[in-house]
Amino acid sequence: MKKIYCDISATTPVNEQVIDLMTSIHKSTFGNPSSVHKYGQESHIVIEKARIETAQALNCHQEEIIFTASGTEANNIALEGLVESDDHIISSTYEHPSIMNVIKNLEQKGAKLTLLKPNQNGQVEPKKIEKEISKNTRLITVMFANNELGSINNIKKIAEITQKHNIILHVDAVQCVGKIPIDLEEMKIDMMSLSAHKFYGPKGVGALFVRKGIDLKTILNGGGQELNLRPGTENIAGIAGLGLALSMAANHLKENMLYVKKLEQLFIKEINNYKINYVLHIKDRLPGVLAIGFPGIDGQSLLISLDLKGIAVSFGSACSSGTTKASQILLDAGITEDLAKSTLRISFGKIHTEEDIKYVAKELSIILKRLEKKSYA
């Protein structure tokens, strides 16, 4: 059976060059980076090389990059390390759990929290953010692009607002880094989180950009590594893998974007040819990310049917007590409950061929016809 992975937004396979580099490091560069002897210094050099690669890809200073174990950890370090009990936080209702759970925890500790719903384009409107700013607003944290919808926020405009009011802006860019251009110097973002496994790097390693002049308190206690913000012996091979994967993504960004958009257009053309009834929710979105609803079809049944044909996609909702619940993120974006229940996230990447796309569209059409007959029976 043919197997096609169309869930690039969830995670990506690791580049072969990255695997080779990490394997080599595991074999030969095993010293503790904090040790003063040659073995330790060799490991330290590997980490600093990755820091330079990361900084160059994002256009920031290397000392502003903190390596972490994940995007989730980066989000926790940024938010927990900044906010005090009397601060005001502005965020959105469709943030990742690693943001939402942290800011709700901070609210329980005394911080004031304002959550804004996205508009029908799946974006948090900058003017609504500015309207909610008060004298105690310390932090605005907004994701660069939503993980279910693929919708992209106007981060540059939001940054202009935070600069104007002297408020710190944190951006969860896990879905965007390596997929669209990000220039930290131009965008004036204060803190930004990323994760290697989203851009063909290894799992278990991420990074946090912290602009010079921003002081974060330590939330993890240990040996003082990574400017005392992420103590613990560093994941040398993982960090090296992140640096190389991001460097490769940055060097081939334009061509990868064009290629993925071409695949996306081909998919739309194919499903139109098969006369599939669908609703594409967001127009201004990340390349290759489709939040697509199939009216009258149970999304979970569709996902399982595709999986049985070797096609992996994502379902933007959760299953609880045997009943399918519509994703709150989709509902907040103005999508009806029935359509939200029929919505899948299909995401393409550089690993796919045109033949893959045609196969997915063909099998999708066959499955939909079967499910439609079943629903009418």
Q: Alpha carbon of 138 to those of 21, 81, 214: distances in Å?
A: 41, 12, 12
Classified as helix, coil or strand, 140 is strand
DSSP string, 197-251: GGTT--SS-EEEEE-TT------S-SS-TGGGTS-S---HHHHHHHHHHHHHHHH
Task: Tell how strand 279-280 and strand 206-210 pair up.
Answer: unpaired
Q: Alpha carbon of 376 to those of 276, 294, 297, 373: distances in Å?
A: 17, 15, 11, 5
Q: Which of 6, 60, 176, 319 is catalytic?
A: 319
Query: Residue 319 catalytic?
Result: yes
Task: Give the residue carrying structure tokens 């939909």.
Answer: 368
Residue 139: half-sphere exposure toward Cβ, Cα within 13 Å: 31
Task: Give the residue carrying structure tokens 């990310």.
Answer: 289
**Distance from C-alpha of 53 to C-alpha of 204, rounded to nearest angstrom:** 18
Q: Which of 279, 278, 288 is nearest to 258 (CA)?
A: 288
Q: Find the angle CA(257)-CA(176)-CA(287) to the nearest 5 degrees.
A: 35
Task: Give the residue carrying structure tokens 């995670």.
Answer: 11
Q: Alpha carbon of 106 to those of 55, 82, 99, 197, 299: distances in Å?
A: 30, 11, 11, 28, 35
69 contact partners, CB below 8 Å, separation of at least 6 = 204, 205, 206, 230, 235
Task: Give the residue carrying structure tokens 């049985």.
Answer: 308
Which residues are designated catalytic?
319
